Chains A and B, each alone.
Chain A
C-alpha cells in the first residue's frame, strides 16, 4: 500500500506483551469480546496492504501486558474471501502466543469446523463459547466441559455483550493449552498429509500441510510444495478431491463433537424469525427499507450538522483573535486563512464521520445491513453492483467522504472500486449552495427543477460509471452468498469506541493533505500581497479561462472559484463573493467577546442536537431556504455570464473532483493510482458533459 498511514499503527511492544489473536466465524461477537476485555485501549488500522480493518486492544495485567488482535471473520482457514485469506496468513506468518477461538454457542455445529481446523495450527489455545444467552433462548442446553474434555483446551462460556464470564476467560488465557489431535482423516489423506508434514517444520505443520494439500498457496519450502503437488496428483488419479475429503472429515467430526456437547434442545421460534417476517415482507419490507435508509441519512447529517457549525464558529473566533493580536496583516491572514481554516476543515468532517460510523456500526452489528443488501440486491445488480452498495451511494448525497468509507462493507475490491468511483457524482450537500445561488439568479422560475435535474444527472452518471468500470476492469462480481446474521442489539460502548477510533483514523490521514491544499490555495489568493486582481490566483485563472469559453463561462473569477472549490465545494460561493465584491475584513475579536461567542455557539449546537432528535422523524427538507446572499453578488453574476453559461458552470461544479477530503478517502480505500484516475476521469466527464449541455442549449 502506498500510504504509510494505512499500515496500521505499529507500536514498539514491551518484552512481556503476550499476543492473543481472536479467531471466529463472522458475527460471533469477537469485536464485542475485545471491547469487553480491553475496550479502553482500542486501536484501529488496516491489515498491511489491504483496506481490511484491523482492531487491536491492550490490557495491562499483573502478569504483564496483553495485546488482543481481532482477526477478520472467517468460516475456514481454507479461504474463499480476502478477509479469510488475511486471517490465515496472519496465523501462519506471525503466529500469536495464544489463539482465542470465539464460537457462537447458538450456532455451534456450524462453528465447530473452524475450531477443528484451528487445532491443527498447534498453538496454545482457549475457546470462548460466546452468545450463551442466545443459545439458551434458542432452547439449547450445552455442556462446555464436554468440549474441553474432547479437545484438551480450556473452554469458557461467556456473554461478551454483558461481560459475563470474562474473569474466567482471563484466567483461562493464562493456562492455554496446545490441543490434542482432533480430526482423523481417511487413510489416503493421512498418508498425503504425513508426506507433506515431513518436509515442514514448526508446530503448525499439520495446518500448513492441509492447506497445501487443498491447493492453497501458503508460504512453504520448495520441497514441501513439491510433496504437496505429488500427493495431489496421486489423489487425483484415485479420483479423490482433497478439499472435499478434508472438509468432509471435519464436518463429520464437528457433528460428532456437537452431539457430545449438546445435552438438550427444545427448538423455539427466535426473535429473528419474527422480525424477518416484517423486514423481509414482499410489500412491507421495501417500505421499511426505504424508511431505514432515510433514517440513517438523516441521523448522520442532522446530528453532525450542529457540530460542524460549531467548529465553523470556533474557527471564526480563533481567526478573530488572530487579527486582534496585531500581527503583520499577511501573517495574520496566513494563520487565520490557511492554518486555522485548514485544521477547521479537517475537523469539520469529524462529526459527520463519527455519526456515520455510529449508524453504519449499528446497521452492521444489528443485522439490518445484511437485510438491506438482500432487499436491494436485485435492483443494484442491474448496474453490476451488489445490494450492499446501496447505502454508500445514498450517503453520497449527504457527503462523499463518509460514503466512500462506507464502501468498506462491500466484499470484493471490484465492488468497492465501482462504488467508490461512482460516489463522487452524487451531488453532496456542499454543492447545494452553489446550485441554489446560480439557480436563483439565472432560473428564478425553475430553480427547483434545475437543481433536481442536476441531482438526477449526477446519479445517472454515477450508475453509468459503475457499470462501465465493471465492464472495463472486468472485476469479478462478488458472490451473492452471505449470511443473514441474527438480529442483535449492538452494545453502545462498542459502537462509540469503533466510531471514535475510525474517525480519529481519518483525522490523522487527512490532516496533511487538507492542510497542504489549504496553504497552497491561500498562497495563490494572497501572493504577491496586494489587490486580488494581481494575485497569482487571478493570473492563473486568466490563463486558464479560454479553456472554459466553450462551456459558456470565461470570466476569470468564475473559472478561478473552481480552484478553491477543491477544498470544499461550498467555498466556491465564498470565493465568488470575494472576487466579485472584494473581501470583507475579518473583524478582530477581543478575548472575552470570543469566549462568550464560543459558549453561545456550544449551547446552540447542544440545543440543535437535541432538536435533531425530533427532526429525525419529521419530513425531509429538499431545498434549503434560498439564502439571502448579497444581492450585489447576484447582480455581478448576472453580468458575468448568461443562462447557458450558468448551466454549463453548474454541470461542471456538479461533476468535477468533489474535494480534497474525498480524494483522501479515495486514496485510503483504493490506493493512490485509482485516486489519481478518479480526478482525471471526473475532470474529463465534467468538461465533456458541460460542453454537451451548452451545445444543446445553443
Chain B
C-alpha cells in the first residue's frame, strides 16, 4: 500500500483513501486531495520536508507526516 510521501518527485498517482483526523481530512478534501483525485509529487522542500503536490490546478504543500495519511491506488 503506497502512500503520498513515498512518491518520487515527478511521479503521479490516484488517491484511494485519506485516513486522517477530521480537521486534516476536511482540509485535504477542500484542497482537492480526496479519493479519486490524481496527485503528482512536484518536489520536496530543501530540507526534505514539507512536500509540494499538484492536484488539478492547485499546488498544495503538506508535511511528510500528513502525506502519510493519504493512501494511493496501486498502479501497474
Contacts and interface: CB of A to CB of B under 8 A. Distances in A.
A110 B56 contact: yes
Given A78-B26, A251-B34, A378-B50, A484 B60 contact: yes
Interface string A465-480: 0000000000000011
A485 B50 CA distance: 16
Nearest to A106: B57
A482 B57 contact: no
Given A138-B57, A283-B46, A80 B23 contact: yes
6 contacts: A78-B26, A80-B26, A109-B56, A243-B22, A247-B34, A280-B52
A482 B53 CA distance: 11
Contacts of A80: 23, 26-27, 30
A378 B57 contact: no
A80 B31 CA distance: 11
Contact of B31 (A280, A285, A381, A483): A483
The interface centre, meaning the residue of B24, B60, B63 with most chain A CB atoms within 10 A of its CB, is B63
Contacts of B31: 75, 110, 481, 483
B28 A481 contact: yes
A223 interface: no
Contacts of B42: 276
B46 A479 contact: no
A370 interface: yes
The 6 closest A-B pairs by CB, nearest first: A75-B30, A480-B63, A378-B47, A80-B26, A107-B57, A484-B59
Contact of B46 (A81, A109, A138, A282): A282
Contacts of B27: 75, 80-81, 479, 481
Contact of A479 (B52, B57, B59, B66): B66
A381 B45 CA distance: 13
B43 interface: yes
Interface in A370-417: 370, 373-375, 377-379, 381
Interface in A544-580: none
Interface of A: 75-76, 78-81, 106-107, 109-110, 138, 243, 247, 251, 272, 276, 280-283, 285-286, 370, 373-375, 377-379, 381, 479-486
B58 interface: yes
B7 interface: no
Nearest to B29: A247
Interface of B: 22-24, 26-32, 34, 42-43, 45-50, 52, 56-63, 66
A377 B45 contact: yes
Given A481-B66, A482-B61, A378 B48 contact: yes
A286 B46 contact: yes
Nearest to B62: A481
Given A280-B43, A481-B66, A483-B58, 8 more contacts: A80-B30, A106-B57, A243-B26, A283-B46, A375-B45, A378-B49, A481-B31, A482-B62
Given A378-B47, A479-B23, A484 B52 contact: yes
A481 to B, nearest CB: 5
Contacts of A483: 31, 58-61
B15 to A, nearest CB: 12
* Interface of B, helix, strand, loop or mixed by DSSP: mixed
A482 B26 contact: no
A2 B42 CA distance: 45
A375 B43 CA distance: 11
A64 B4 CA distance: 53
Contacts of B47: 375, 378-379
B46 A375 contact: yes
Contacts of A378: 45, 47-50
Contact of A482 (B43, B46, B60): B60
B37 to A, nearest CB: 9
A19 to B, nearest CB: 26
Contact of B50 (A75, A76, A374, A486): A374
Nearest to B57: A107
B56 A107 contact: yes
A408 B1 CA distance: 40
A282 B48 CA distance: 9
Contacts of B24: 479, 481
B23 A484 contact: no
Contacts of A370: 61
A285 B46 contact: yes
Contacts of B63: 377, 381, 479-481
A377 B50 contact: yes
The interface centre, meaning the residue of A106, A281, A373, A481 with most chain B CB atoms within 10 A of its CB, is A481
A420 B61 CA distance: 24
A373 B61 CA distance: 10
Contact of B61 (A106, A138, A374): A374
A282 B43 CA distance: 9
The interface centre, meaning the residue of A79, A243, A276, A484 with most chain B CB atoms within 10 A of its CB, is A484
Given A280-B52, A283-B46, A481 B57 contact: no
B60 A374 contact: no
A173 B27 CA distance: 31
A110 B57 contact: yes
Nearest to A382: B47
A609 B52 CA distance: 39
Nearest to A267: B57
A419 to B, nearest CB: 18
Contacts of B45: 280, 374-375, 377-378
A483 B57 CA distance: 11
Nearest to B43: A280
Nearest to B48: A378
Contacts of A107: 56-58
Contacts of A484: 52, 59-61
Nearest to A373: B61
Contacts of A110: 31-32, 56-58
A107 B30 CA distance: 13
A409 to B, nearest CB: 15
Contacts of A375: 45-47
The interface centre, meaning the residue of B22, B32, B34 with most chain A CB atoms within 10 A of its CB, is B32
A138 B27 CA distance: 25
Contacts of A283: 46
A483 B66 CA distance: 14
Contacts of A138: 57
A481 B61 contact: yes
The interface centre, meaning the residue of A109, A276, A374, A381 with most chain B CB atoms within 10 A of its CB, is A374
A375 B61 CA distance: 10
A373 B45 CA distance: 10
Nearest to A272: B59
B64 to A, nearest CB: 9
Contacts of A286: 46
The interface centre, meaning the residue of B23, B57, B58 with most chain A CB atoms within 10 A of its CB, is B57
